[in-house]
Amino acid sequence: MRLPFLLLAAALALAPGAGAVTDGDRTQVYHEFRELFDARNYEQARPVAEKLVALTEEQYGKDDRALVNPLSNLATVAYRLKDYPAAAKSYTRGIEILEATAGNADRQLLRPLHGLGATYLAMERYDDAIAPLKRAVDLSRNLDGLFNPDQMQYLEPLIAGYIALGRSADAEKEQQYVLRTAEGAYGKSDVRMLGPLDRYARWLESEDRYASARAVHLRALEIAEQDGGKESLMTVTPLQGLARSYRLEFLNGGGEPPEPDPFSSVGDLRAEPSDNPHLNAEGERDLKLALERIDKAQPVDHKLRGAILMELGDWYLSAGVGPRSIDIYREAWKELAQAGATQPLQAPRMIAYRGPSSSLKRSTLDPDSAELRYVELRFTVTREGRIANIATAGSDAPEALQKTVVNSMKKARYSPRFENGEPVETQGVTFREKLLLKKPKSKT
């Protein structure tokens, strides 16, 4: 009589216990997590995400690919909470699990690679960010084709990493790849090209290539007018871009010969570099035209109107018409206040700065074979937008280079901080410039 009892006991030992985790248990926890996450209640979502990881480990083991999505969810919550080290740890663990179980060509790798790269960008670990983002781009192209549109979500942070590292050639290459990809997916004249065109034009502006930027803004303006008419709100962003390019060219210099737009045969005289010693009136006209188009649309988009007024204020400040610029900023505050979006005016904004020739952006040295140094400045932005009391707060650069950064900052332009719609002085504003220094020759 003892043998049947022993067999029953053995069977019970092998059978799942009453407390074993089931798919239903995990599904219920996931729905709870999703509800909190979608409500942006990240603090409460985090322990639920941790619980889902624990349940998945208990059900499948600590090295199973079923853990990858729960780990990515946990990492995303940590990222939203700005706990970047925790986010990087979870993303990395998910990548390692996939590499061990499925190799390097698994589609499921895309999400944690993207997340890890974005996390490193947020941590300003730009060198570390490049590898996972480039890997995500390459994997996307291998899986879905060289010009598949899904890769753009990986290309944009990759470009940001290249820009931060001063790798302009790499950034330019990928910027143009984004445009070609968008054109292939949407068509050259599709309204969905407006976003990629605006980002590319802004990139050209950041490289002081203002004539080329205007050519791209003009192409976007033509698409917007063809799709929505000359009075369309879609024309506002291209008009703003045209004005901004004239303003920055006036402040920073330019003289770049006009480049043909590689993506369109459309041309315009306004794509020529400006040799006007004063601000080109064409830009002011574009901003006022943008305001007219916003005012004609009902209901009025107060946030958009505030943004254009800020640009117009920047225009007058750059032209040296300080009192007029302050009046325009006040008007912008009122518009933004109606939209609950006054944050852009609640801190001083750099509206123009041209670094010294040794700066990371302007240096002709190869970043990979030069020494990276920095200069951090501390200064006051007055209520009129002037810069005062400049001092070096920290640096590992030679004194001569520190002076060049100070001199560049003296020529910079800031808009003042506003409180309750009025400009106020701001002390302790900081700015860090990265410099490239030629490496000393090694002694042999």
Question: 234-283 pLDDT, tens per residue?
Answer: 999 999 999 999 999 998 876 555 444 433 333 333 444 444 457 789 99
CA dihedral 46, 49, 55, 58 (to 10 degrees): -80
Sign of CA dihedral 149, 153, 158, 160: positive
Rounded to 5, what percent of the chain is helix, strand, coil? Answer: 65, 10, 25
Identify the band that residue 352 occupies on the pLDDT scale cut at 50, 70 and 90: confident
The per-residue pLDDT of the chain, averaged, comes to 89
User: Which whole number is the average pLDDT over 333-345?
Assistant: 97
pTM: 0.81
User: Which whole number is the average pLDDT over 315-330?
Assistant: 94
Report whether 360 contacts 166 (CB < 8 A). Answer: yes
Burial of 229 (C-beta count, 10 Å sphere; 0-12/13-18/19+): exposed
User: Which whole number is the average pLDDT over 344-367?
Assistant: 92
User: Which whole number is the average pLDDT over 288-317?
Assistant: 96
Identify the band that residue 444 occupies on the pLDDT scale cut at 50, 70 and 90: low
Task: Please give the share of the chain, as a percent, with pLDDT higher than 90.
Answer: 79
84 vs 102, higher pLDDT: 84
What is the Cα–Cα distance from 310 to 234, expressed in whole angstroms?
18
352 vs 193, higher pLDDT: 193
Using CA atoms, how far residue 402 sits from 251, 261, 322, 397, 429, in Å, is 22, 38, 29, 6, 17
User: Which whole number is the average pLDDT over 106-127?
Assistant: 97
Phi and psi at 394, nearest 5°, equal: 180, 150
User: So what's the pLDDT on residue 138?
Assistant: 97
Q: Which residue has the tokens 């570099």?
A: 273
Which of these, 116, 129, 195, lies nearest to 159 by C-alpha position? 129
User: So what's the pLDDT on residue 442?
Assistant: 67
Which of these, 140, 142, 268, 141, lies nearest to 213 by C-alpha position? 268
Reported as a single tens digit per residue, the pLDDT across 396-419 is 999 999 999 999 999 999 999 999
Q: What is the helix (H) or strand (E) element at residue 385, kind and residue range?
A: none
- 118 has pLDDT over 90: yes
71 vs 256, higher pLDDT: 71
Q: Which residue has the tokens 């009902």?
A: 298
Which of these, 387, 399, 391, lies nearest to 435 by C-alpha position? 399
Residues 6+ apart with CB under 8 A from 112: 68, 71, 72, 75, 91, 92, 94, 95, 98
Residues 6+ apart with CB under 8 A from 134: 158
Residues 6+ apart with CB under 8 A from 94: 67, 68, 71, 72, 75, 112
CA dihedral 213, 214, 218, 221 (to 10 degrees): 80
User: So what's the pLDDT on residue 8?
Assistant: 37
User: Which whole number is the average pLDDT over 64-81?
Assistant: 97
User: Which whole number is the average pLDDT over 353-378?
Assistant: 91
Report whether 256 contacts 273 (CB < 8 A). Answer: yes
13 vs 52, higher pLDDT: 52
Q: Hey, which residues does 370 pair with through a beta bridge?
A: 438
User: So what's the pLDDT on residue 195?
Assistant: 94
